[in-house]
Each structure stands twice: as structure tokens, then as C-alpha cells.
Structure 1
């Protein structure tokens, strides 16, 4: 596949020559072979991006929403035009199975187009009557903003965070992870086609040095970070001294509760599909399976049979249902968790090994039983194909287990008792929750509690997440 402007970087809304001749390798997770090399963004490129964003902010923020909308809508249309290429490159460089990628990319398109529609009717400015008289309340852009996105859905984060932030009047520097270097060129090509004013948007697929520089830059007024909790806390520390705004969408260790009365014909396929989605590399993955004790063995047997039926192979093959992990370090991390879990007393009900017939970064879907909720494997986000089964006796016990986590991103319950399901949903401390399914609505809005972060994406709340409020008291 052709990569547009493959020897340049997208800085300040324009294709430019990189400051350095450093190069970065892109390897296939499926074969581990080299796909191609691309320019490696450096701190000097990041500095140019921040300088452009700072110079452009006042003019971009001052534009009427209709004029910003016109440009951002062209960007959304450009992304829509490239959806098939986005899906192919996502499979090629990051291992996202094509069938999953198509569903997620389609959802991303719906979300960014919904944000564009909502922006035209959102109350960016409203007048309120108070005891002191009329007050104009305005949502304004914050300033030059860094958006650090994750490899498991960068275009989803464009829909949920970046496009709303641009509409709100912020200038943006997007830092993609190394696993999305090729995808970054498609996003940048769509942005170039949209003809953003100079400085408004930069897109760099860089390494940790670029992230650290951007997050700590004194001219960066806000950071929207999606990723692991440990790095998220470092982002907060870096922003604290200058009181920069921060939105954090962090990790999860979400629990799927299966009540004794659940319909197992619904439960088992739903959980298998959930586990198969990008090999567990999803922040809302149900990695703790809390099963009512009386149906424990039956559900485990069904899950093992379902996992055995997954088709492992090339993520670019539409029939593949189990693909590789995105990078070798993710594979090694997951293997370490499995090894330590077994040493701590867990039993491997399925998986645990690298498939013998695959040369890429594959790990079999791994289902662990005999797990207690205090084990490392049940408390830490692994971001890989390792799933813990934990039994419970009552729904109160299940809620307590679900809440016994430093995370609070998502959760679910399977039950035929509607009222019991609602009761559990309201008591589990998570930002989103699902009844009789596993994947939450991302436009409802979406975000976490506790160490899963703060701030929201999607819906009107996401549209205003990267804005600041100004109240103007009008003349009597």
C-alpha cells in the first residue's frame, strides 16, 4: 500500500521535512518481518508542532463555530474516504483482525459524524438570568493541546476526543504510538486534504521521548491522554506545576458478572467474542469473569469450547478471529503474568502458550481458573489475552469483588432478572456498565472512575471536555 508523503512529517497542518534523518522500523505482528521504514519524529519536530499550535490558537479559537466546523467536517469526510485503507493498515502494522477493525472503524465514523452534527446545535454560548442580571456563559478552547492516543483505536479517539477538541477551538498536537506509524500517514493525509489553517493540527507517531517533551512543554495548555494508569499518573505530575488541564482515559480490570439465572446461550458467545476482540488489547475488556458458583463449571466448559473454535491467523484475513499482539513486549508481558499466576495457584483451563504454527507475536487465549481476587493477575491490567475466572456465592459478593479493584472503567452483568441487573449496575463503581452484553456505548458518554481516569469522551460531555468556561456579566 502506498504511504502518502512517506519521507515527510505532518507538522503545523503541512507536510514538512523532518528535522532529523533518524528512521523507525515498522514490523508486522503477524510475521515479525520488516514492512518498511519511516521518519522517526524527534523532539525538534515536536517543538515545531507546539510553536505552530501556540501561534495559531488565538485565530482558530476566535473563529465562529460554523467556520471551524467547515474545516473539521472536511477532515471527517477525508477519514471516511480512507476507511478501507485504515482497516488494512491497522491489521498490517498493529495486528487488529480485519473483521473487528471494520466494526470499530464503522463505529468511529458514526461517532465523529455525530460530534460534527452536535457541534452545530451545542450551547457554546448561552445567556442566563441571575439575581445580578444577565450573564453570558461561554465554552472556549483551552489552548495548544496534546492528544496522546493508544494503538488499539486511534481513530476512535479522533472521534471521541480530538475532533470535539478541534471544534471547541483548541489547536492540537496528536502523538500516536509507534504501533500506528503507518496509520498516522492516513490521518495526516486526510488532515492535509481538509486544509486546516497553518499550525492548527500536527500528527506525529513518536516514541516516549516525544511524549515526555510534549507533556512537559510550558506552552501546552492541556493534555488528553489515553493509555495505562502508570503513565497517566506521570502525565498528571508533569502538568501539575503549570496547572495544565488534563483529561485521562486510563486502564481497566473490568468484571463481567454472570448470575445463576443467566441465559448461558447468551453468556458464552458474548464472553468469547469479548475475549477475542483484539486479543484482550481493549481497555474495556472483561478480564475478570465473576461466575455464580452453581454454574461455574458449566460456563468454564462452554468458554473453553468457544475459545478452541477461534481461528488463529493473518489479521488481514476476514476469517481470522484471533490475531497477534501488537508488539513483542506485550506478548512477553502477558506470558510473565501467566507464569506468575500459575506459581501463585491458578490453573490454566485453556491456552497459555504461543501457537506452534505461528511465527508472529501470538499467545493463545488464556483462561485461568482457581484465581482469587487478590492475586496480581486479577488486580493488574495486562492488556493482553489473559482472563481470570472467580466464583461468587451471592450478587452482593459479586458486587464486592467487582469493586475490589483500583480501576473503575467498565463492567457488565448477565441475568434474566431486569431489576437485579439494574441494581448491580448502579452499585458497581465504574464509569460505564452493560447489562447482558460486554461492550459499552461510547457516546453515552464514556470514561472511568478511580484509577481508570477522569473526564469524559463522547456525547455532549465529550464535546465540552476540552473547553474552559467564561462567565461575562452583562450590563444592566
Structure 2
């Protein structure tokens, strides 16, 4: 077990501190079920210390009062300290959450670090105020006056950031950097399953010499999460996870009227029209089901396929799945890793049974791979002839399970895609890109690609969902504004 992945202290007020009861918890590699590190278990007193530090740093410290250029300079140093840790970021991510090394590098280095750089730069370049159009208003005595107004952006205050297990380092960056760029202070709580990558962030913040209390790290379970969503010293909660937990967080935050941003679940639809390039469609489908072993909210898990090509699509998809290699993602040649823990695998198994009980046709997978005795692995699984109103088509499984649903017209495909409580991601595959664009405008989802889109996330494009997929947006200028208040200053211009 790497000695530098043994953590016993939290990062609070610019220093490493023991927890209230000095408890630690072992972090398990989901592919081997072996220990890979340890993290302290924070409790309510630790949260209170962190919030006091964050509150003091915001109310009395320099951070929200720095110029955009000065804040950008410090965030740039923070980014550079993370770049220097790129190889360790990949290694930690593979060990604690289970993606393959290429996937970990793509998401946690090639995607996350440019996001960090983007917000470091945006801290300096984003307007902190904007002039509104001048107005001529009536004045007493029949005269008129010229009215001027300025729209100014202020930091919200203290932000509690609660992140999930599936893409931990990436999500930590996506929440911490825009919140800091906007002038807020942050208390970060990672998932107890994947805390190790958060310590890399805290170490980099210390190396960059961010002012004390600007970024604080408190690990732990539900007690820490509840404290961070209910304490009146918190001004905004940002959370990524399931819609069920998101609803609880909204309720917990309601009594103190905190602002809440939520990036929640998905049951995204991939529409395969009759004129789609089936080879490309199948390649996209295989990549989707194997990436993070299906544990990603925006992955397309409902494949809506035109009935004229559905049989060919299902046959090609199931055949291509045979070429995936399940195993320890740290090993060369492995193309699909494990689920995060035993309880998540059991959850997927329950949904597979529900699919069978509901009359769907299991055409691939459906169980634990026989050749892997250790690790929380599950076969890539495909159901055909799925009723779109069934449990497996309506509820987020968060595992490598795909539902194939047939359609006969574009209107039916759009109707099926929109027949969901979620609206996070999606895609349309068609050689008729004009028609695909028209359909994309009709699908109620936060983001949708045509023929694979740009192939990933870009820092400038806002990300978020409709319905039970969340509230607010991350990334882009919109992701910065989520962490700011809008103030209007009015005056007589003449």
C-alpha cells in the first residue's frame, strides 16, 4: 500500500489537523478488494471547525476582496501544482474508483485540468460588473432624467461541495475551481468510497499558498454531509449524486434558505435512426457501457433504435461486447473495470432480475463474470424488447445495463426520449444531420450530441439537466455565475 496514500488528518484553515476522534477508514480497491490507502473519518466537530475557517476567510480574509488578476494568479499556481501531480492523479483514480488507465487519464487529467485552467483564467477575464441600457424616466414637474444601472457580481459566500465516487477528481475540480474563481470559500466533502484524490487537491492548494480557510477538506459519511447542508454558516450547497439524495439535500437546505445546485441522475436516450452508420453507433454504444462500467450519470442507457435496423444493431452490439476485457484496470489490455463496491453490484443484480420479471429479453451479460473471483465486476448487459415504461427503462441503474427500445418514426423516438423523469444527456446518430438537429431541439435534455458530438466535455459548454437530473449548470461562464449573487446599482446618469 503506497505510504503517501495513508491520510490521518483533514485540511482545515490552511493546516493539516487530526479529526475529533482520530478515526480512519481503509479505502478499498474495487478491482482487487485490497486496501489501497486510508482516510480520516470526519465528524460534526470537524465540520464546525472547517466552516468557521471558511466563514472567517470569506468575511474577514483577502480572498473575496482580491482583484480578479490576483485571484487568477493564485488559482493558476493551484492548477500548476495539480499538473505536476498528473501521474499520481491517474494512479489514485484507477486504484480508488476503478476506471482503466486511459479513461482515468482522459477524464481526470486531459479533461479536468483544462477545466481548472479555464476557471483560473476566467477569474481575471469574466466581467465583475456590466452596464445595463440607460433609461429615460419621468421626473417631478414634467421633466425627465437619465437613469443608469450597473449589474455587479458578488461571491455567494461559503460553499459546501459534496462530490460522488464515480469520477471523483474531476468532480472535485469542477466544483472547487469555479467556486474559488467567483471569490467564495469552500469546504469539500468527497465520497467516503473515493476520498484519496481529494487529498491531492488539498496538497496542491497548500503548495500554491492559497490563503488559510479558502479551501478546506473534510472527509466522512452522512454526519458530515448533513452538517454541510444544514449549518447556517453555509450559503450554497453544490452536490452531485443520485436524485434521491439530491431531494434530501434540498429539504435539508430549505430551513436556512441556502442556494442549491444539483447535478443528479440520468436515463439518457441514444436515438439510432434508420440511416445511422451502424458500425459507428455500435462503437459508441460499447464505449458508453464500458466507460466507468456504466457508472456515469450522462451515459446513454436507453438505446432507441429504428425497428428496421434494430435486429442488426442488437446483433452487432452484443457481438462487439465479447471483445471487451474485464479485469484489474491497472493492467494493460483491460478495457472495463469494476463497479465501486459490493452493494452497487447487488443493486445492478436486482435491476437485472426486475428486467427479466418485466418481460425484457436478456441478450448479453446479466451476471458476474465467472473468471474473476475477486473484485466487484459485472458483465456488460443488454436487454432487447424493453418497454419504455418498465422499471429498467425508467430508473437509473448506475451500472453496465443497456435497454434497447424500438421505434418506427422520428416523432415516436422523440416521444420515447422525453418519456422520462430525467433529462441529462443523449445522442442522435444519423447521416441526415439537419434532421438530427431538428430532433435534438425537441429532446428535453441538458446536452445532446449528434454523431458523437465533440467526443467529450469542454470547459466552455455548460453542463446540467432538466427535471430530476438537477438544478443549475456546471462549466462555462454559467458555472461561474452559479456561485455568484447579482446586484444592481442604480444612479442618475444626468
Confirm or deny a common fold (TM above 0.5).
Answer: yes
Residue of structure 1 in register with 2:91 after alignment: 88
Residue of structure 2 in register with 1:470 after alignment: 487
Q: Report the CA distance between 1:296 and its aligned residue.
A: 0.6
Range moving further from structure 2, 67-76 or 124-133? 124-133
The runs of 5 or more residues in structure 1 that have no matched partner are none
1:367-390 per-position Cα deviation (integer Å, ceiling 9, x unaligned):
111210011000001111111011
Residue of structure 2 in register with 1:43 after alignment: 44
1:21-65 per-position Cα deviation (integer Å, ceiling 9, x unaligned):
222121111111233433211121111111111111123212222
Alignment counterpart, residue 437 of structure 2, candidates 386, 398, 422: 422
Residue of structure 2 in register with 1:110 after alignment: 114
Give the direction of change, closer, same or farther, for the CA distance of 1:157–1:33 in structure 2 (3 Å limit): closer
Indicate yes or no: 2:197 matched with 1:183.
yes
Q: Report the CA distance between 1:97 and its aligned residue.
A: 1.2
Residue of structure 1 in register with 2:65 after alignment: 62
Contact 1:9 1:204 in 2 (8 A): yes
Q: Report the CA distance between 1:335 and its aligned residue.
A: 0.6
1:338-364 per-position Cα deviation (integer Å, ceiling 9, x unaligned):
011101111211111111121110000
Contact 1:311 1:321 in 2 (8 A): yes
Give the direction of change, closer, same or farther, for the CA distance of 1:38–1:112 in structure 2 (3 Å limit): closer
Indicate yes or no: 2:294 matched with 1:277.
no
| Equivalence map 1:62-461=2 (5 Å) | 62-105=65-108, 106-131=110-135, 133-358=147-372, 359-437=374-452, 441-442=457-458, 443-461=460-478
* d(CA) in 2 for partners of 1:471, 1:226: 31
Contact 1:4 1:189 in 2 (8 A): no
Q: Report the CA distance between 1:475 and its aligned residue.
A: 5.2
* d(CA) in 1 for partners of 2:367, 2:28: 22
Q: Report the CA distance between 1:193 and its aligned residue.
A: 0.7
Contact 1:366 1:387 in 2 (8 A): yes
SS in 2 for 1:468: strand
1:159-182 per-position Cα deviation (integer Å, ceiling 9, x unaligned):
433201101111100110012222
Q: How many residues align structurally?
A: 476
Q: Report the CA distance between 1:462 and its aligned residue.
A: 1.0
SS in 1 for 2:237: strand
1:380-418 per-position Cα deviation (integer Å, ceiling 9, x unaligned):
011111110110111110100000000000110000001
Contact 1:137 1:472 in 2 (8 A): yes
Residue of structure 2 in register with 1:28 after alignment: 29
Contact 2:272 2:306 in 1 (8 A): yes
Give the direction of change, closer, same or farther, for the CA distance of 1:4–1:344 in structure 2 (3 Å limit): closer
Contact 1:410 1:440 in 2 (8 A): no
Contact 1:5 1:15 in 2 (8 A): no
Q: Report the CA distance between 1:234 and its aligned residue.
A: 0.9
Contact 2:93 2:197 in 1 (8 A): yes
Range moving further from structure 2, 117-126 or 404-413? 117-126
* d(CA) in 2 for partners of 1:387, 1:336: 14
Contact 2:6 2:37 in 1 (8 A): no
CA RMSD of aligned residues (A): 1.5
1:217-252 per-position Cα deviation (integer Å, ceiling 9, x unaligned):
111000111111011111111111221111111110
SS in 2 for 1:9: strand
* d(CA) in 1 for partners of 2:441, 2:276: 18
* TM-score, normalization by structure 1: 0.97
Residue of structure 1 in register with 2:141 after alignment: none
* TM-score, normalization by structure 2: 0.93
Q: Report the CA distance between 1:156 and its aligned residue.
A: 2.2
* d(CA) in 1 for partners of 2:176, 2:24: 27
